[in-house]
A and B are shown apart, each in its own frame.
Chain A
Amino acid sequence: MSEKTTPDPLATGNNSAPEPAPTQVPGGTTSEAVASDVALDTAGGQMPPSAVPAATQLRGRDHRDGDGSVLHQIFTGNAMVSFLSVLLAIVLGGILMAVTNPKVAVTAGYFFAQPGDLLTEVIRPYTALVQGSIFNWAGADLAAQLYPITETLTVATPLICAGLGVALAFRAGLFNIGAQGQIIFGALFGAYVGFAWHLPIGLHLLVVILAGLVGGAVWGGVVGLLKARTGAHEVIVTIMLNYIANFLLLFLLTTPAFQRKGSTNPISPFLDSTALFPELLGPQFRLHAGFLVAIAATAFVWWLLNRSTVGFEFRAVGANPNAARTAGINVARSTILVMAIAGALAGLAGVAQVSGTEKYLSGGVAASIGFDAITVALLGRSTPWGTFFAGLLFGAFRAGGVAMQAQTQTPIDIVLVIQSLIVLFIAAPPLVRAIFGLNPRKKKTTTSGTAGSHTGGVKSGAAA
Chain B
Amino acid sequence: MSATTQSPASKQPGTGKTTGANRAAGRAATTELVSWKAGVGLGLLAILGTVLFGFLANTKSAGFRIAEARDPNASSTAAWVTLVVALAAAGYLGYRWISQRREGGGVDRWIPATTIAAVVVLGLAALGVAQVEKITVPSMVFGWICALLLLGLAGYAILLTLQRRRTPGWLGGLFAVVFLVGFMIWIVAGGRDPEPSISLGGLMAGAVTLAVPLVFGSLSGVLCERAGVVNIAIEGQLLLGAFSAAVVATVTGNVYVGLISAAVAGALVSLVLAVVSIKYLVNQIIVGVVLNVLISGLTSFLFSTLLTADPENLNKPGRLQAVDIPFLADIPIIGPILFRQSLVGYLMYVAVIVVYVGLFHTKWGLRVRAVGEHPQAADTVGINVNRTRFINVLMGGAIAGIGGSFFTLVSVDAFSKDMSGGRGYIALAAMIFGRWNPIGAFLAALLFGFADNLQSIITIIGSPVPSQFMAMLPYALTVIAVAGLVGRSRPPAADGIPYVKG
Q: What chain B residues lie within 8 Å of A18 (beta carbons)? A: 502
Q: What chain B residues lie within 8 Å of A13 (beta carbons)? A: 376
Contact with A416, one of B296, B429, B479 (Cβ below 8 angstroms): B296
Chain B, residues 203-225, CB within 8 Å of chain A (1/0): the string is 00000000000000000000000
- Interface of chain B residues 471 through 495 with chain A (CB within 8 A): 471-472, 475-476, 478-479, 482-484, 486-487, 494-495
Q: What chain A residues lie within 8 Å of B232 (beta carbons)? A: 235
Contact with A427, one of B286, B379, B476, B482 (Cβ below 8 angstroms): B286
- Counting CB contacts under 8 A, is A332 at the interface? no
Q: Is the interface of B mostly helix, strand, loop or mixed?
A: helix
Q: Report the nearest B residue to A255, measured CB to CB.
A: B466
User: When the two chains form their complex, are residues B280 and A34 in contact, meaning their CB atoms are under 8 A apart?
Assistant: yes
Q: What chain B residues lie within 8 Å of A45 (beta carbons)? A: 375-376, 494, 497, 499-500
- Counting CB contacts under 8 A, is A420 at the interface? yes
A279 CB, min distance to chain B CBs, angstroms: 32
- Interface of chain A residues 200 through 241 with chain B (CB within 8 A): 226, 229-233, 235-237, 239-241
Complex-state Cα separation, A45 to B281, whole angstroms = 12
Q: What chain B residues lie within 8 Å of A101 (beta carbons)? A: 305
- Interface of chain B residues 368 through 403 with chain A (CB within 8 A): 374-377, 379-380
Q: Is the interface of A mostly helix, strand, loop or mixed?
A: helix
User: When the two chains form their complex, are residues B297 and A416 in contact, meaning their CB atoms are under 8 A apart?
Assistant: yes
Determine, out of A107-115, A139-147, A371-379, the stretch whose residues face the partner at the interface: A371-379
User: When the two chains form their complex, are residues B290 and A175 in contact, meaning their CB atoms are under 8 A apart?
Assistant: no
B484 CB, min distance to chain A CBs, angstroms: 7
Q: Report the nearest A residue to B232, measured CB to CB.
A: A235
Q: Report the nearest B residue to A250, measured CB to CB.
A: B468
User: When the two chains form their complex, are residues B297 and A414 in contact, meaning their CB atoms are under 8 A apart?
Assistant: yes
Q: What chain A residues lie within 8 Å of B291 (beta carbons)? A: 420, 424
User: When the two chains form their complex, are residues A232 and B380 in contact, meaning their CB atoms are under 8 A apart?
Assistant: no
How many chain A residues touch B (CB < 8 A): the figure is 67
Q: Report the nearest A residue to B495, measured CB to CB.
A: A48
User: When the two chains form their complex, are residues A254 and B466 in contact, meaning their CB atoms are under 8 A apart?
Assistant: yes
- Interface of chain A residues 396 through 447 with chain B (CB within 8 A): 410-411, 413-417, 419-421, 423-424, 427-428, 430-431
Q: Report the nearest B residue to A101, measured CB to CB.
A: B305
- Counting CB contacts under 8 A, is A12 at the interface? yes
- Counting CB contacts under 8 A, is B285 at the interface? yes
- Counting CB contacts under 8 A, is A38 at the interface? yes
Q: What chain A residues lie within 8 Å of B174 (beta carbons)? A: none
Complex-state Cα separation, A175 to B232, whole angstroms = 12
Determine, out of A50-58, A280-288, A298-306, the stretch whose residues face the partner at the interface: A50-58
Q: What chain B residues lie within 8 Å of A417 (beta carbons)? A: 294, 297-298, 301
- Counting CB contacts under 8 A, is B284 at the interface? yes
Q: What chain A residues lie within 8 Å of B280 (beta carbons)? A: 31, 34, 428, 430-431
> Apart from A34-B281, A417-B294, what 7 extra A-B contacts exist at CB < 8 Å?
A46-B497, A48-B496, A49-B496, A96-B301, A229-B483, A230-B37, A416-B300
30 A-B residue pairings within 8 Å (CB atoms): A31-B280, A38-B498, A39-B502, A48-B230, A48-B283, A48-B495, A49-B283, A49-B498, A100-B301, A100-B306, A175-B285, A230-B484, A232-B482, A235-B285, A236-B428, A239-B428, A243-B422, A244-B479, A247-B472, A411-B300, A411-B301, A411-B305, A413-B298, A413-B301, A417-B297, A421-B294, A423-B286, A424-B287, A424-B290, A428-B276
